[in-house]
Homo-oligomer: A and B are copies of this chain.
Amino acid sequence: MSLTIKDVAKEAGVSFATASRVLGNYGYVSQDKYQRVMEAAEKLGYRTHSLAKSMVTGTTKTIGLVVGDIENPFFAGLASWINSTMSLEGYTMMVYTTDENSDEEARGVYTMIEKRVDGIIIAPASTRTYNHIQAAKNAGIGVVTIDRQIPELELDAVVVNNSDGAFEAVNSLIQLGHQRIGFISDSLDISSNLERLDGYKRALETAGIPILDSLIETTGFTILDGYRKAVASLRNKNHPTAIFAANNFIMTGLLLSARDMGIQIPSQISVIGFDDMEWYKLSTPTISVVAQPLKQIGQTAARLLLKRMLNKDRIQRPEVVSCSTQLILRESTAPPGKQ
């Protein structure tokens, strides 16, 4: 079918091994034969068979990215930065989407183990379900978690100061005079959400405002989930005067629902989100938000992984990098209106 080193060797009139040496760019080869092999390879249009090479070298130059939803601009942005960094080092990226479901995630990770990726960057869907990640680590695959952490596992991780970020956001609402502040996120199995909830609670506590379970809502990971939850919440005439949306999809759903229900932002309700979007500057009102440094997060994760893969054999202490968020106040947050 496709041509092999043997074909090239025959064409060049050298031994199989010699051809392999020049094509693989290692060992000693005379100028003359080098030349001949290169020409033969060029003429025949030879392409190496990475799989065969990987079988013997034990490395695939491939990494896996495992995230909840590649359609979410947050993950798409991370993917882009990770990819551009890894690409420079000769790595190709495999992407697996989990829908924030641990079973699916496990399936993805086991697939990557079987395909022998050199490393995995993962945003684990749960803090508690991680046998598959442990298995990857045991298989000698470099693992770094991103956006989230698994405390029980000693893993490299890149996160942001979720709790502080959420604290600042909620506190800004409190400073504006809000008392009934809602919280909406997707699953609390996700460590970053849990930390954001923690920041939310700390802000209220610090201000002496009681924490009401009825104001804390969780839902799925899609825009539609956020929309539905927001509609349910806003339908209540006694709804909060402000809402903290723990991620960009929740925020989008929230904005869509406010629009559909004819509720004005910020006069009738203030909203603040987590993770900035380009279009937040284009909506009316513009959206206040806790911004995350996507570039820094993505590149750092890639570098940690590179370092771990490079020193595969040596023992390395896990490294956790925490990036800072930035509070950006725009027009969607204002003092509570008179009812």
Residues of A at under 8 Å CB distance from B?
1-2, 45, 47-52, 54-55, 58, 60, 62, 69-71, 73, 76-77, 79-80, 83-84, 87, 92-97, 110-116, 135, 139-140, 223, 252, 255-256, 259, 277-279, 281-284
Contacts and interface: CB of A to CB of B under 8 A. Distances in A.
Contacts of A284: 283-284
9 contacts: A2-B139, A50-B114, A50-B116, A92-B115, A252-B278, A252-B282, A255-B282, A279-B279, A283-B284
A37 to B, nearest CB: 18
B1 A110 contact: no
Contacts of A77: 71
Interface centre among A76, A93, A113 (most CB of B within 10 A): A76
A223 B278 contact: yes
Top 9 nearest A-B pairs (CB, nearest first) are A284-B284, A71-B80, A50-B114, A76-B76, A279-B279, A50-B115, A282-B283, A95-B95, A71-B76
Given A71-B80, A83-B95, 10 more contacts: A1-B140, A47-B114, A50-B115, A62-B94, A70-B83, A223-B278, A255-B282, A256-B278, A259-B281, A283-B283
A283 B278 contact: no
Nearest to A111: B92
Contact of A97 (B84, B111, B277): B84
Nearest to A286: B259
A267 B2 CA distance: 62
A45 B135 CA distance: 9
A276 to B, nearest CB: 13
A62 B115 contact: yes
A114 B116 CA distance: 16
A95 B114 CA distance: 18
A259 B278 contact: no
B48 A114 contact: yes
A84 B71 CA distance: 12
A94 B62 CA distance: 9
A135 B42 CA distance: 13
Contacts of A50: 114-116
Contacts of A83: 70, 95, 97
A243 to B, nearest CB: 16
Contacts of A223: 278
A218 to B, nearest CB: 21
Contacts of A47: 110, 113-114, 135, 139
Given A93-B94, A279-B283, A116 B252 contact: no
Nearest to A138: B45
